[in-house]
Amino acid sequence: MKLVGKAVAVAGLGNATGEGWRTPAPIEYVRSITPPYSERNDHLLLRVHGPHRTAEEQVPLHARGLLTEWVEAGTQHEATFTNPDPGTYTFRVQGRNSAEVWDEQGAALQLIIAPPWWGTWWFRVGALLVFAGALYAFYRYRLAQAMKVVAVRERIARDLHDEIGSTLSSVSLFSSVAQKKAKGKAPEASELLGRITDSTTQVLEAMNDIVWAVNAENDDMAQREAHA
């Protein structure tokens, strides 16, 4: 008994008339075939060769991975499997002669259906790497944005401390000196200068608090104090 080469075709690549995809050699010399995944509507036609073979003879068949038991193909000598999952299958067929003697060994054909490109290990690894790269890029972007915010806060804190702070310190110093000179000579002016000095001191203290809060280096300390 043999599997006939012209009796094997793959739907889409080939059909029952033998058109389209072909095995690289006559099927009786082929132990396995690997049709593309895109053409996995497998239509395998099997015929039994031998003396006094007739179309009415019964042919049992079995496909490991697709069938759980032997199936009587009847006189059609044909089996059809539609959209099998990627994997390796072994198709076996047995025949009998006119004396009702079965060929126990039968014939076997290995059918290897490769997964689609999106189901291959290299695609999955590549997709995982792309996903990891995207996550890393998003992390770097968020980190860069956070660093920009920190830089702005540090610049604001520095400007408040250097420019406004120094100006207010000068105002406080000048008003304090003027108050001392006006003391005893112009009591009202001395009192006003004293108020200016006190107000300036209060503004400096409030500004120092603002500078401390704006400075990003003090965030952890502020959080600890808030939870304390």
CATH of the domain at 28: 2.60.40.10
pLDDT at 75: 61
Residues 108 and 132 in one domain: no
Query: Given this model, what pLDDT does residue 154 score?
Result: 81
Helix 165-182 vs helix 187-214: crossing angle, to nearest 10:
160
Report, as an integer, the average pLDDT of 34-54: 54
Please answer whether residues 64 and 33 qualify as being in contact, where contact means their C-beta atoms are separated by less than 8 angstroms.
no
Q: At what angle do helices 121-159 and 187-214 cross, to 10 degrees?
A: 170
Residue-level pLDDT at 131: 97
Tally of structural domains, the chain:
2
For 152-168, how does the pLDDT look when each residue is reduced to its tens digit (9 = 90+)?
888 887 777 777 777 77
Reduced DSSP (H G I as helix, E B as strand, rest coil) percent helix, strand, coil of the chain, to 5: 50, 15, 35
| 20 φ/ψ angles, rounded to the nearest 5 degrees | 90, -140
Average pLDDT over residues 133-145: 95
Same domain, 76 and 143: no
* Shared-domain flag, residues 146 and 165: yes
Rounded distance, CA 110 to CA 91, Å?
6
What are the strands of the beta sheet with 78-80, ordered from one edge? 8-10, 42-45, 78-80
Select from 115, 136, 161 the last residue of a domain: 115
Other beta carbons within 10 angstroms of residue 2's beta carbon come to: 17
Residue for token pair 């590549």: 126
Structure tokens at 91: 């198709």
Range of the domain at 193: 122-227
- 216 and 143 inside one domain: yes
Instruction: List, for residues 85-120, the tens digit of each pLDDT value.
Output: 788 887 777 766 666 676 677 677 787 878 888 888
Q: What is the pLDDT of residue 143?
A: 94
